[in-house]
Structure 1
Amino acid sequence: MSKATGKTTPTNMRGGAVILRSISIFLTSGRSARALNQQAVKTKVKKMSDKDSKNKISVRLLEAAKRDTHFSRSEIEGLYKVYRKLISMNRPKTNQEKGAASSSIMGKPTTVHEGVDKVVFRELLHSSFDIVTEDMMMDRIFCVWDKANAGLIIPEAWFCGLSIFLRGTLAEQTDFCFSVYDLNADGYITKDEMFQLLRNSLIKQPQDEDPDEGVKDLIEIVLRKLDKDKDGKISLEDYRQSVLEEPLLLEAFGRCLPNERARDTFITTMKM
């Protein structure tokens, strides 16, 4: 405002507008910064919440595991955390694998989005349960654990499989081993299946004219021991009766259960 006239000059008006604009920008930037900080905090909290929710077992799954396994609540919660860690180790899937459902001789395929894949499962058998065996046996163990035929070990299968491995009764482990050896899941272990299971169990000598003859001889010995009804194949009932009479026959056709030392070590780790 001019002292002489008492009127506001254009220069003063422009100066005031600049100041007001600067104050407005300052206030706006302050609000924006606060909003960004708040959003960042919310995002961080959400990520932490999502992570915690993934690692926390649902009530439904917990109750099912308590009902169907030999584990306590705290053991189930600990095993679920191990399960979540194993999932993070899965190998990246190709686009074709992501869009395809798994198929198997054990039933219709089930499409699932998350679980322990075969590569990680095989490493678990080797490193944690000291099961070192042929690829076919590894695949059969995976298939029997994967009761849902999902191509992945889902939580329910994880708990049930570990229950048999770590706390299973002789009856439960007998049925498990039989399922592993029953390659086409028809309820019998036939001579052809025995041949596939046993052909790598004998040390072949260079002078042997027909190495497979030794396997065939072994099959006849096994049949005389396990084939209770003498029908030329081994049924589940044959197998159960034989194992009851001689528990050492439990893994007659190959290693598919952890030994006592591996079980004790895993259980100790599970309780930590």
Structure 2
Amino acid sequence: MSKPNEPNVSTRGRTLILKSISLFLSGRNARSNSQQPKPVKTKKMNDKDSKNKISPKLLEIAKKETHFTRLEIENLYKVYRRLISMNRPKTHQDKNVAATSSIGKTTSEGIDRVIFRELLHSSFDIVTEDMMMDRIFCVWDKTNSGLITPESWFLGLNIFLRGTLAEQTDFCFFVYDLNADGFITKDEMFQLLKNCLIKQPQDEDPDEGVKDLVEIILRKLDKDKDGKVSLDDYRTSVKEEPLLLEAFGRCLPNERATDTFITTMKM
């Protein structure tokens, strides 16, 4: 369900998002299969190509900080450009939103929450509650600007598609740490788990089952027995039992969605 003041993305819009990953490929394949001489590029075409071409500095940053190849980075940047072109029209309140990238450029361009949510649904098959969606967005949003910048885009996809178990463990922890204080507390566990159990009408305390589940998981994850889960606790627990990686809710794509995305970005 969409949040208040956020317009719904139409069915056509969701379809466009799903297809946006391969749109840039279709144009390239059509050109390569054509037997006709290549048309002379006009200034308009050059401007468009230039806008969709990643800068050398950003390319080097992405190569250094991710597990992607140069070709994959270039293709992912083209996808990024197509996605930001689908952002909802900016309202008066949006005009002051800006993000500063690691290459020192301040911009109001980026993937907003609406498009990001639809991307998770359509391309990564992540269907979860709004709270979890918002937390995933916040962890991706390295600039805390409300926009996914190019650097955040590469870093987020690196975790989703090529992340090691250790990298994905840290990502999940930061998603579950709702107030970003370095710990997952019992209250946060309750908030994350409260809708995962089917509540029976005859239950005197509908939340009792959730509270019991919180205690069970806490005993499993709280290695130093201080009543909360630290990052070190979480790392140790997941290393011992990888199935605990998404203990408090799904926040990573499944293998099928990952494989599909990786196949596309290699083309």
2:54 counterpart of 1:61:
no
Tell me whether 1:89 sits opposite 2:112 in the alignment. no
Q: Deviations over 1:222-258 (max 9, x none)?
A: 0110000000000000000000000000000000000
Post-superposition offset of 1:200: 0.5
Which of 134, 141, 146 lines up with 2:136 in the alignment?
141
84, 95, 107: which is aligned to 1:98?
A: 95
Q: Which has the higher contact order (CA 8 A, sep 6+)?
A: 2
The 5 Å alignment of 1:102-181 reads 112-181=107-176
Residue 101 of structure 1: how far off its partner (Å): 5.7
Distance change in 2, residues 1:115/1:173 (3 Å): same
Report Cα offsets for 1:54-90 as digits up to 9, x if no partner: 1000000000000000000000000001001101111
Give the CA deviation at 1:97: 1.4
Partners of 1:70 and 1:163 within 8 A in 2: yes
Q: Deviations over 1:24-44 (max 9, x none)?
A: xxxxxxxxxxxxxxxxxxxx9
TM-score, normalisation: structure 1: 0.79
Deviating above 6 A after TM superposition, structure 1's stretches of 4 or more consecutive aligned residues are none
For the residues of structure 1 that align with 2:208 and 2:53, how far apart are their CA atoms?
A: 55
> Which has the higher Rg, Structure 1 or Structure 2?
1
Deviation, 1:111, is 6.5
Residue by residue over 1:107-132, the C-alpha shift from the partner in whole angstroms, topping out at 9 and shown as x without a partner, is xxx97310111111111100111000
In the alignment, structure 1 residue 234 sits paired with structure 2 residue 234 = no
Are residues 254 and 111 of structure 1, via their aligned partners in 2, closer, same or farther at CA, if it must alter by over 3 Å?
farther
Counterparts of 2:44 and 2:110, CA distance in 1? 21
- Is residue 183–residue 189 contact of structure 1 (8 Å, CA) maintained in 2? yes
Task: Normalising by structure 2, report the TM-score.
Answer: 0.81
Asked if the contact 2:98–2:108 (Cα under 8 Å) also holds between the matched residues in 1, the reply is no
* Number of residue-to-residue matches in the alignment: 222
Determine helix, strand or coil for the equivalent of 1:211.
coil
Q: Comparing both structures, which one devotes a greater share of its residues to helix? A: 1
Whole-angstrom CA distance in 2 between matches of 1:99 and 1:115: 13
The reply to whether residue 73 of structure 1 matches residue 70 of structure 2 is: yes
Q: Secondary structure at the match of 2:117?
A: helix
Q: Supply the RMSD in Å over aligned alpha carbons.
A: 1.5
Q: Which runs of 5+ in 1 are unaligned?
A: 1-43, 103-109
Q: Give 3-state SS (helix, strand or coil) of 2:214's partner.
A: helix
Gaps of at least 5 residues in structure 2 are 1-40, 100-104
